[in-house]
Amino acid sequence: MEEKRKHPRTEVDEPAYISSGGSVMSCTVRNISPEGAAIDIENPAFIPPRFRLVMASDSSVRECQVAWIQRNRVGLTFVETTPA
């Protein structure tokens, strides 16, 4: 498969949380780059198209949107947020 990413992904195995509309689901970040990440989640059917990814290690938060879903792995694109 041809690599289309601008930045290489760093392989990780870190717990994180998906936060959207008051609900929270746990997931595991499998790889990450400045532009996106891939996560594993038990049931991707409940993931909204856009949400916040909260890293358990340092509580950093990234706005995300779903790029693709393959079984229990979900590809994410980080969305730039503009201050109000």
Write out pLDDT tens, residues 2-59. Answer: 455 567 788 999 999 999 999 999 999 999 999 999 999 999 998 999 999 999 999 9
Backbone angles phi, psi at 46, to 5 degrees: -95, 5
- pTM of the predicted model over 0.75: yes
3 CB-side CA count, 13 A: 5
Domain boundary assignment for the chain = 1-35+45-69
Q: How confident is the model at residue 80 (pLDDT cuts 50, 70, 90)?
A: confident
> Residue 74 above 80 pLDDT?
yes
Q: Which residue has the tokens 């790889």?
A: 31
